[in-house]
Amino acid sequence: MHQMRLAMLTGSRTAFDLNVFSSPYGGQTPPSYQPAPYPPSAGGPVPGADKKIPAAICAILLGALGVHKFILGYTTEGLIMLGITILTCGFGAMISSVIGLVEGIMYLTKSDQEFVATYVQGRRGWF
């Protein structure tokens, strides 16, 4: 501190003075970086997110019948899963139920914004 006063009075600059005067923060540490929360929310519920929990539960419990596909509005995909189960006399239900289980877990692990962007707006029918 004494060195800075002396430099100011005499007009000479030292390396310490140059750092203080050339810093945009006046010799203080810059403010810490705080990332914005992802994704930015508007404060209310996300339209279309009300289908997430019913679709996930039906996918896990009734995945072989494709009920979760009908809830999300995927009629063709729902009919395919139902057709696999019916036309194979139930033997194809194992495949359809595994697909339903995986999709149900995927629905539950996504945030409301990701779920709506992927399955409601993006219309992604499979996985």
At 109, is the pLDDT very low, low, confident or very high (cuts 50, 70, 90)?
very high
**What does the pLDDT read at residue 47?**
86
- Alpha carbons within 13 A on the beta-carbon side of 21: 10
Q: Is the dihedral of CA 42, 48, 54, 58 positive or negative?
A: negative
118 or 13, higher pLDDT = 118
Q: Is the pTM of this model over 0.85?
A: no
Q: Is pLDDT of 1 > 60? A: no
Let me know: does 69 contact 77? Beta carbons within 8 Å: yes
> pLDDT tens digits for 19-68?
555 556 566 666 666 655 555 555 668 888 999 999 999 999 999 999 99
